[in-house]
């Protein structure tokens, strides 16, 4: 019986993150990183795009001061930021929704440097899926 990975040269996926739960977010991003590393170890190129919107926007803000999340404790924020930087170093594109940023009062200057602002990540999600990217929903 053959492996599902037989003949696979590239893995393309769009990871749609909306969860505002810090433990869940950290766990799922860790699994995403592990998945990328597993593909790379098998000589399969990885083309992953991470979409951040809704409550997940809190995790790409360098600080919560002045944002909608200002009163919410987030003790794992440093760990999350380090993990996101590690993903970006693997070539993962981290896209943040401008609409969510505006609703959450997160400014461009307050974003992690490893992120890219997109007007509306729903557009990106639809476009990437139509280009053959697998959708990985992370609520």
| Chain segment 39-80, per-residue pLDDT in tens | 999 999 999 999 999 999 999 999 999 999 999 999 999 999
Residue 60: inside a domain: yes
pLDDT in tens, 76-132: 999 999 999 999 999 999 999 999 999 999 999 999 999 999 999 999 999 999 999
CA nearest to 97, candidates 122, 74, 67: 122
CA torsion, ordered 50, 25, 76, 46, to nearest 10 deg: -40
Q: Residue 85 is part of which domain span?
A: 12-138
pTM of structure: 0.94
Number of domains in the chain: 1
Q: Output the domain CATH number for residue 52.
A: 3.40.1260.10
Which of 29, 109, 99, 21 is closest to 62 using CA atoms? 109
């Amino acid at each position: 019986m053959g492996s599902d990975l037989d003949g696979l040269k590239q893995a393309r996926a769009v990871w749609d993150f909306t969860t505002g739960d810090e433990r869940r977010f950290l766990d799922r991003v860790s699994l995403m990183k592990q998945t990328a590393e597993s593909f790379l170890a098998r000589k399969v190129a990885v083309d992953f795009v991470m979409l951040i919107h809704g409550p997940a926007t809190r995790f790409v803000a360098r600080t919560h001061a002045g944002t909608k999340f200002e009163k919410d404790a987030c003790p794992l924020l440093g760990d999350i930021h380090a993990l996101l930087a590690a993903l970006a170093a693997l070539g993962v594109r981290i896209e943040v929704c401008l609409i969510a940023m505006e609703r959450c009062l997160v400014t461009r200057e307050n974003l992690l440097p490893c992120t890219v602002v997109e007007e509306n990540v729903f557009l990106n999600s639809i476009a990437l899926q139509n280009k053959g990217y697998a959708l990985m929903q992370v609520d």
